Amino acid sequence: MSLQTPQAATVGSDLPAVTEKGSFLGYKMGEDSFVPPSVEEEEEEDGEKEKEKEKLPPILTASNTAAGGLERGAKSQFSTFSNFISTINQKKEAAGSSSSPTQLVIPNIKNVRDLPPICLDVRQKQRISIDTLPPELKAPVPPESSLPIRTKTMKDFQEDMEKAKSSGDWKAVHDFYLTTFDSFLELNAAFKKDVSLPFSTIEDSGINAKFVNAVYDALLNTPQDIQKSVLKGIINGLLQEWKGLRTKDDLRAYCILLQNPQFSNTSTYVIYAHLLRQIATLAEADHHFLAHWFKKISQRRFKQLVDRLLQFISLRLFPAKPEEFPPMIKCTWWIPSATKVLALFNAANSLANPAIIPYMDFYNSTLDHIDLMEEYHNWQCYGNSHRFSFCQYPFIISIAAKKVIIQRDSEQQMISMARQSLVDKVSRRQRPDMNMLFLNLKVRRMHLVSDSLDELTRKRADLKKKLKVTFVGEAGLDMGGLTKEWFLLLIRQIFHPDYGMFTYHKDSHCHWFSSYKCDNYSEFRLVGALMGLAVYNSITLDIRFPPCCYKKLLSPPIVPCDQNTPVGISDVSLDDLCHIIPELAHGLSELLSYEDNVEEDFYSTFQVFQEEFGVIKSYNLKPGGDKIPVTAQNRKEYVQLYVDFILNKSIYKQFAAFYYGFHSVCDSYALMLLRPEEVEILVCGSPELDMYALQRNTQYDGYLKTDLTIRYFWEVVLGFPLDLQKKLLHFTTGSDRVPVGGMADLNFKISKSETSTNWLPVAHTCFNQLCLPPYKSKKELKQKLIIGISNAEGTILIPQLQGCSNL
């Protein structure tokens, strides 16, 4: 796990301690809220702390700058968002109160002190990766303490619960909770599968998960004094265990405590924060164990733990009741601690195959409402300091927020380039004109590819300016329609099978790079630049590349300074090949599982045969591969080399040109925030369709949304199967995918066509506009619409719109 903990910047205790007055972090525990201590109490507490410090080792604390932008004010819409959070919080509290017989109150705590602080992790402009550490610890392993013997089983506990519910006598249950949560050793004694075994591997945590789940599921239905005892025991356990090296029993205890459902209640957040801080400051090797243990948690409970951490971060950023929490300046480490622990769950999710939950479930939409550009600049400017930024943990930032960062970063680069052009013009005493502020491309329709290549090559220094396209010999001002038309026409021509640059695989419905050798790969660079310009100018392209293409595009995410460094080479697997050539992947999979004599039955060597312009050519997968037979012993190596050849080596020059073309436009550090799947969504849009959202955001020209024809239209469209809905979207916008911002970003418009109702609907794809005749019946509208969207081929120019249309 790349979750290393650098040393803190300062030494000393600038955080409030837990005092004898029954207060935690300087706030008294009441029935419903925290009560600030009086001045006399603070002076008394300070005196007690000074005496206690003489007996205790110094405590490291993070510097005040560690919180980065977390103390910044919110935007103007924050009050509205806070109300939203408040409403959600009230609903959750109401739900919690209905499921629990008594209200949860944090107990008073005596003779305890503050916990060690968290030290922030800085990604230093590198993607957080999963470190495949060896199972052995790098640090010295402390000896395990002998555990007390506890004989109570899950069945015994469940019987005690039934007796307590029927009789009202909770003593046996109370004694169990009181003993079990009293210390880390007791937690292990109760929940360890076998106390005589060490369970010191990543494969098995040794935790009796069913017993833990049963105890926690029953906890919220117990009387208040039991719940208070559990929290008090957790606090005492945390205070006792933080010194020295961690044992595997300690890690097991942390894993168990994290699953406590009491931490969903905001009144327990102070305790929860200290638990998170202890886990966040563990050694890297300990994080490695926890991540592997977390991936064994059931999907439902794993999702609950992730949601709990996300809610903790959201409510700390925008508290519905600020009086429930200590001031932000006193707990700047809360959010960094929670984010680091969330990173462990993200790593566990990535280690699991398949993933336990979708990567989108780690998004925190609350972050869409903070100053994202300040977060981004903090990450860029303070990469080598302890200043926290959410950009260090990009998995938590939604794709919509990342798009905002990329767009604003692009806009700033565009402005910078335009300003530099203006300064250069003035310094040469030349008259400036508006054209210098844009990337102006002039192309002929009959020579679209060659003209586009020449223009982009000649104006390479202007690629970061706003794109404007002019078709030679055609009058018209590009207000976005011509630019989109240029993208559509160019993509269709380049990806046409006759053009030979890409091969279309019908089984997977995607394109892949042709392995044919040629003298000039500049057209592949053009395609890369085209994709980069689309992202840069917020244009969605109708391109079908497999997922591994975007993985290769981020290998590495920033162009290396050394031109000899290979680019576009990524770790590929049989699953990646299956997304492109499923039949070949199936054959190789059959080879791996074949149980008879591989060498005699397959009679293969370490070679690959490919057809190039009608000639069969052979390539060795390794030196002397033509003389090395494939056997049961070396077939895994053969398959891996075969897949690597198809996806990496055979197309290296083509993909390298494509890579450099894309990064010639998109060379922003913001790319490091993206997953390959997110790059695909930025380029091609999302495949998730919400036609009800499209209906809500549709604009009308010549129609009202209450008109009979419009009502017929939506009744028909909402009743379409998914394939017809995608055809309609492709017919009207040029793509069957949705932009990152959702249907609202399509600016979809339905215009009234004054033509005869015998005509089919017409779409201006460059303007996302559907021209619909006023059909008199629902049956006629459905029939004409299906014919139109199912047989739309070719594009023509509509002079008054200067855009392309589907007929």
Give the active site residues. Answer: 766
Q: How far apart are CA 750 and CA 768, in angstroms?
A: 9
**Cα–Cα dist 61/117, whole Å:** 5
Contact 443, 469 (CB under 8 A): yes
Q: String of b and e for 738-747 (b: at least 16 CB within 10 Å)? A: bbbeebebbe
Q: Distance from CA of residue 162 to its chain's centroid? A: 43
Among the listed residues 4, 27, 82, 3, the one whose alpha carbon sits nearest the alpha carbon of residue 271: 27
Cα–Cα distance between 642 and 361 in angstroms, integer? Answer: 35
Residue ranges of the alpha helices (H) in 506-651?
522-536, 547-553, 574-578, 582-593, 598-602, 635-647
Query: Where is 699: in which H helix or E strand?
Result: strand 699-701
- Distance from C-alpha of 651 to C-alpha of 580, rounded to nearest angstrom: 14
DSSP H or E run through 771: strand 769-772
Q: How many CB atoms lie within 10 A of CB 454?
A: 15
CB 114 within 8 A of CB 18: yes
Q: How far apart are CA 309 and CA 297, in angstroms?
A: 16
The terminus-to-terminus CA distance of the chain in angstroms comes to 55
- Who's near 254: CB < 8 A, 6+ residues apart? 275, 278, 279, 282, 290
**Count of all residues that appear for the chain in the document:** 807
Do 187 and 181 meet the contact criterion of CB atoms below 8 Å apart? yes
Q: Show the tokens assigned to 517.
A: 């050798």
Looking at this protein, which amino acid is placed at residue 336? Answer: P
385 bridge partner residues: none
Q: For residues 50, 53, 58 and 61, what is the CA-based torsion angle, rounded to 10 degrees?
A: -50
At residue 387's C-alpha, the angle toward residues 386 and 393, to 5°, is 100
Query: Residues 290, 292, 295, CA angle at the centre, nearest 5°?
Result: 105
